[in-house]
Amino acid sequence: MSDGLELAGLRLVHNAGRADEVVALRRIDLTVRPAEFVTVVGSNGAGKSSLLQALSGAVRATAGTVRLGGRDITRWPAHRRASLIAYVVDDPRLGSAPDLSVEDNLALAMGRGRRRGLRPSRTAARRRTMRDRLARLGLGLENRLTDRVGLLSAGQRQSLTMVMAGLSAPRLLLLDEHLAALDPTTAARVLHLTTDLVSTVDCATIMVTHDMEHALRTGDRLLMMSDGRTVADLPRERKNGMSTQDLIDLMEHHGDRGVLPERA
């Protein structure tokens, strides 16, 4: 039994029993060690987001089990899983509360999983931690603690979301195309922040991306999905020797001829 993430026979059927039923995950068996960083690629509709949704609890798996940190969380609803799992999606507006200040958002993240409800602590020590984490972004956000988050740009918000994810000390970090809405320079900066965060927090991480370069050059291991299955599982030594074209060829080899976004 692992201390990280363990999936056994995970199956997800959207709209089960209806005419528009879709089998999004067929049978996923997967173990991710604590502190292991896995990137996931696959064409549109391969099941990547469904996998992350089933892990975060945003959707309920149809069958199979999910264990995290030695605990069976299969039946845990999303709000309970949030005490162990940070989930960052592509839309920078969804990771933070726009009407709350930068400070209040960070305080909520720090209190997550500790049953503090909505009463953020404003101690000097906490503020120092917040300022310190924000200063590392190089965006000047450490001087904007009282600003409403809704006033920030997309890149600033996604960077803030990543800081929030780090402060919540998750066991599992799920990143679903979290760089997709950012310009290339900001995406590179947030990716750097991501690798930094993963090595500091030491949590298991799954990052879905359509950027083949990011998938190859980031993390310890690369998973390829096609039609609701994992069709390749490449360790660091193997992926480091590959080019983006090799990766695209491998996807085609596995019968995945779905549309790849231009950036791939």
Ligand X SMILES: Nc1ncnc2c1ncn2[C@@H]1O[C@H](COP(=O)(O)OP(=O)(O)OP(=O)(O)O)[C@@H](O)[C@H]1O
**Least CB distance from residue 59 to ligand X, whole Å?**
7
**Within a 10 A sphere around the Cβ of 34, how many other Cβ atoms?**
15
- Reading the block at residue 151, the tokens are 């006033």
Contact 187, 218 (CB under 8 A): no
Number of residues that bind ligand X (CB under 6 A): 12
- Reading the block at residue 165, the tokens are 């994810």
Contact 47, 32 (CB under 8 A): no
| Contacting range for ligand X; rule: CB under 6 A; set: 1-9, 45-53, 79-87, 112-120 | 45-53
Binds ligand X by CB under 6 A, chosen from 41, 48, 162, 205: 48
Residue 42 in contact with ligand X, rule: CB under 6 A: yes
**Least CB distance from residue 46 to ligand X, whole Å?**
4
Binds ligand X by CB under 6 A, chosen from 27, 34, 35, 45: 45
Residue 95 in contact with ligand X, rule: CB under 6 A: no
| Contacting range for ligand X; rule: CB under 6 A; set: 29-37, 39-47, 140-148, 154-162 | 39-47
The whole-angstrom separation of Cα 212 and Cα 41 is 8
Binds ligand X by CB under 6 A, chosen from 36, 38, 47, 144: 47
Residue ranges in 7-36 that form contacts with ligand X under rule CB under 6 A:
14-15, 22, 24
Amino acid of residue 92: P
The whole-angstrom separation of Cα 144 and Cα 134 is 10
Q: How many helices (H) and strands (E) does the chain have?
A: 9, 10
Q: Which residues bind ligand X (CB under 6 A)?
A: 14-15, 22, 24, 42, 44-50
